[in-house]
Structure 1
Amino acid sequence: MCKHQPACPTAYAPDREAAHVIVAHPDQGWSLLCNGVVLFEDTGLLLPDGAVVAPHRALVTA
């Protein structure tokens, strides 16, 4: 899907969220990345094969 040079990380790479945003819907809370990943504002992910990655925000300690 990605035609950038250098190519964006694949949907299954550890740095997949670094891919370019091709469709953004901040009003609905999601963005589509050029590697086919749907990124939700709570940091959850939907991968192209339908697999779900749970939200993974960093914990803040006081």
Structure 2
Amino acid sequence: MCPHKPRCPDAEASDREAARSVRRDDRVGVVELCNGVLLWDDTGELLPSGRITPPRRPTGSAA
């Protein structure tokens, strides 16, 4: 449960990345958000349900 006021967006909401950061691991490049979402530096996500969203930011050059 989110303790923030106003509450952070749910992990399935389209604005889920607006949730507050609760932990960061710079070695791996991941942030845990209040709603349980793991957000990687390349913008990929792992939702609490186990669903993965691919990165939206380009990570390399087109070949």
| TM-score range for the pair, normalised by the shorter chain length | 0.7 to 0.9
State the alpha-carbon separation in 1 of the partners of residues 29 and 22 from structure 2.
14
Q: How many residues align?
A: 58
State the alpha-carbon separation in 1 of the partners of residues 57 and 8 from structure 2.
22
Structure 1 segments of 4+ aligned residues over 2 angstroms from their partners: none
**Quick one: percent identity of the two aligned structures?**
50
The Cα RMSD (Å) is 1.2
Report deviation, 1:27: 2.2
* TM-score of the pair, normalised by structure 1: 0.87
Structure 2, unmatched stretches of 5+, are 59-63
